[in-house]
């Protein structure tokens, strides 16, 4: 698996669970590194079933939203599935305002998301 500076990666029953190491995702360099790690996850590591766990994330900049959209497109192009969980209400509000809550498959918590992968 490629080296991860910004993301913590684990495998749970065939689902790649991604946790963010940073509580605040605001800095441009940080966001670029996250974007590269997302890309490596799909291209280098060949991951197709991905769950982004936002439990550690308190703040998320609008630039970071672009990386999430790119990851979603990238995973779908590879016939994969991306889900998200544990999104704080204040971040969820941003998703709702930008209508990203309609684009992304968002679950309440990790167990709900893992169950949704199993169908």
Q: What is the pTM of this model?
A: 0.95
Mean pLDDT of 29-38: 96
Q: Which of 75, 77, 11 is nearest to 38 (CA)?
A: 75
Residue 24 has pLDDT above 60, yes or no: yes
Give the CATH H-level superfamily of domain 7-116: STAS domain (3.30.750.24)
Contact (Cβ atoms closer than 8 angstroms) between residue 37 and residue 18: no
pLDDT in tens, 42-84: 999 999 999 999 999 999 999 999 999 999 999 999 999 999 9
Tell me: the pLDDT tens digits for 98-118?
999 999 999 999 999 999 999
Taking Cα atoms as reference points, which of 42, 28, 34 lies closest to residue 5?
Answer: 34
Confidence of residue 4 (pLDDT cuts 50, 70, 90): confident
Give the DSSP H or E segment for 114.
Answer: helix 110-118
């Amino acid at each position: 698996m490629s080296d991860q500076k910004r993301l913590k990666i684990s495998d749970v029953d065939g689902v790649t669970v991604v946790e963010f190491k940073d509580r605040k995702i605001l800095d441009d360099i940080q966001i670029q590194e996250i974007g590269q790690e997302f890309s490596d996850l799909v291209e280098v590591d060949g991951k197709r079933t991905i769950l982004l766990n936002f439990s550690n994330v308190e703040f998320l900049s609008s630039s970071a939203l672009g990386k999430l959209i790119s990851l979603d497109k990238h995973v779908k192009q590879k016939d994969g599935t991306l889900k998200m969980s544990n999104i704080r209400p204040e971040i969820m509000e941003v998703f709702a305002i930008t209508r990203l809550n309609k684009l992304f498959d968002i679950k309440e918590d990790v167990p709900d998301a893992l169950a949704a992968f199993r169908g």
